[in-house]
Amino acid sequence: LVCEVHELHHMLAAERRSSAAAATAAAATARDAAEEYWHLAEERLSGRLMGEIEELQATIAAERADSTLAAVAADAAAREIAAEDARLADERLAEAVRFGARLESEINALQEALAVERASSIAAATAAGSAPLA
């Protein structure tokens, strides 16, 4: 009976070792599977993040292109406005020069008329002074 109990203890110990080895192997397999799953998940996440990064980079590039076009358009508009302002200023200056020339011509005509009137008045006064008084 003692031999059988002793033998049962050995069998139980062997079974425990076998179960422990199986549990260790199962744990290792589970750990390997978990690591593989983690790597796959990491790769998927990396791929998705890279896709999002590429989308953001494309969006940024498009916005930069849009802002560059807007800046070019604004610059062209500013140049057009400046050219129009310069043209209007030239027109106003030419008009002012023409107006000044007309004024100068009128002043000269008035001065000539005044000189003629003065000469006429002087001649009339001289004639009246040399004429006998009645």
Length of the chain: 134
The reply to whether the predicted model has a pTM over 0.85 is no
In this predicted structure, what is the pLDDT of residue 86?
93
Residue 134 has what pLDDT? 47
Q: What is the pLDDT of residue 128?
A: 79
Q: What is the pLDDT along the chain (134 residues), one digit of tens a residue?
A: 778 878 888 888 888 888 888 888 888 888 888 898 888 888 888 888 888 999 999 999 999 999 998 999 999 999 999 999 999 999 999 999 999 999 999 999 999 999 999 999 888 888 877 655 54
> CA-CA distance, 53 to 59, in Å (whole number)?
10
Token look-up 């008084």 returns: 133
Q: Which residues of 63-78 are buried (b: 16+ CB within 10 A; e: fewer)?
A: eeeeeeeeeeeeeeee
In this prediction, residue 94 carries a pLDDT of 93
Structure tokens at 104: 């100068």
| pLDDT score at 28 | 87
* Predicted pLDDT at 130: 64
Provide the pLDDT for residue 9: 85
